[in-house]
Structure 1
């Protein structure tokens, strides 16, 4: 059992919920994009959270999914950089946008800590 990955899974799900809320507020008047939002934003984050939960509970082998965890960390790190860029260029003072990029930056940090703290062999 890897407790850091078990802690990271609900955090990744929280990031997905915040992302979907921000996008749905942005696209409030448009009717053609909700399906695209689900596929592009919600589905990868949901699958990442499920994989983090499964690997953290030792349902999947960590040694075989090491690269997958690094990819998930990279996905959230790039999302964090992109959200931080959007916050800084828009000049918004909305606290939820600042919280979103901090949550997105915390996910890869916890994944890397979990990988470094768990011996591979």
Structure 2
């Protein structure tokens, strides 16, 4: 008697820049984060969760609606998120915004995250 096994494997693949994003004080920063599925599949919008955080604190989250937790604002575009673009705009960047941001994309049962570093430089 022989046994045959079928393993189903799927993953969320995150693409973020390897170089830091740099912006001036009191300007807006664009933090890129793109995702795909391997193997490709249709996005179930009600199951999709996108969460951006800095130092473990959520700054913006999308799950059926967008909730912003950053006092000076952050912007996700729901239409582009559904197309695989989970990039975020951070508004009015200041010194406390510098650091490593985590872009986490969850589409159960799969989840993945990428890291984007934001640096402050130049004059605003």
TM more than 0.5:
no
Q: Which of the two has greater strand per residue?
A: 2
With structure 2 as the length reference, what TM-score do the two structures score?
A: 0.29
- Which of the pair has more CA radius of gyration? 2
